[in-house]
Structure 1
């Protein structure tokens, strides 16, 4: 995928994108991320006449244009449901993996207890309607995470990484969140090193890494219809940096659950990159359920591989572009 800014006015930004098949798109992106217009030269104009693969190429171009505007101009073009910020998701994985066990339990112990209640005698945190046990309903638990890292640090980390260095940056934070065995203190030291390597200010104290979390929400879908019952929603006046969406399973321990949440966030980063037509850097070439809407898309479109399936055979080279330049 390649893109360049071609125009900006008081309504939004014009972006020219060349997709992985070589077709050219002109996409008008609003400052809030809404796609105001989209023309292209490679596929039928009538959506009803497009194949699943063609629909995916067009959506990837729109998503990549949205991300390009955010990267180049700094506008917040994401939303917490459909188009999540992969940079924030990667940092969320670092934070979740770095938390000391007692701090992790303070923030995520309710979700852990809810999962254990499905398989043990532990009391549930929230009640699940019997109707959701129906085979037609796909149910999971959701919890929103608001990072407490100073906004300037987050912005600096993003601003310091050009698109050319995105792979290296994501590779750094992925290895940090997945591979450190030194706990919060060691990760703080490593995060400061990464910040220094990318030319940004140092990170804050680990005790401030999480500003808030929501309660445990019950989320389900029947077919493509999505529903959510919220419990103890967070009252902060901003979108969450990450939303964990966990399919019920029986974690072996709190430490196992913490590792799983890091993996889950890596899967969400993978989903966002795939939906932009970008091959994930090596540490994000992971399998398993990420964002539920991404899982739903993968289940319903023949042109997408089943990244959500831990046992599927995935061709990670499938997103390599057939054309490299933008005209």
Structure 2
């Protein structure tokens, strides 16, 4: 799996219940903006605030309405390994791969603990790739990924790589180069996209690929042409996008709310994320226009899915 994969939001009605009717339009919107796939039920998708049945409902909708040739990765990580296995088994015939971050309350303390947890989940969907979701800033599980790869390759037959969300480019490169090009390494820090190109990243998972797909494609194009100043200029704008929303009340709620401007009403965020009202969203849009960001926004949803 290569290219930009969007960490997708969990669409909701105004009453806070899931709105799966919008998934068909959401998938077509991503394809129209040359996004290669969706990472569903992840951090961007409010997974910690969803129950198991809701996570199942979301992946069922994505499977039903996924565009042709569109990657679908189902995040099934949970503090309860049995719940994680249930989610993995449920989605095994619906998706291209499963992924899981580690338990984050009582946490695995050793590589053996972590591999045991991942092996249990991977076995629940043995015929599709399994990816470990490394995001230590949130899980506080920060074990050696090189060591993890070695043990995972020995014990997990369908281990396929890592969604690597840590600001450690040298370690990312070492992991990516281990055993040639046999693993998928998804870079997970959008603000460092330009830097990931210098360590030969070929796959990315991030939330701002929902909003700024043309901008990142421009960064990649400028780097390929050797125009690093232009690439850095665009990366700075991507960082400002996050900073503006964060300053107005929180990036997560702001990013989800801003999807309305792109033609997709994702509804409210769940606690503890703050849902932006129209006034805050208008302030964000005015800031983006003032800073020249609006021209790099993803093309709005065309609402022609026929669903």
Q: Which TM-score tier does this pair reach, normalised by the shorter chain?
A: under 0.3
Q: Which is helix-richer, 1 or 2? A: 2
Q: Which is strand-richer, 1 or 2? A: 1
TM-score, L = length of structure 1: 0.26
Q: Which protein has the larger Cα radius of gyration, Structure 1 or Structure 2?
A: 1
Structure with more contact order per residue of length (Cα contacts < 8 Å, sep ≥ 6): 1
TM-score, L = length of structure 2: 0.27
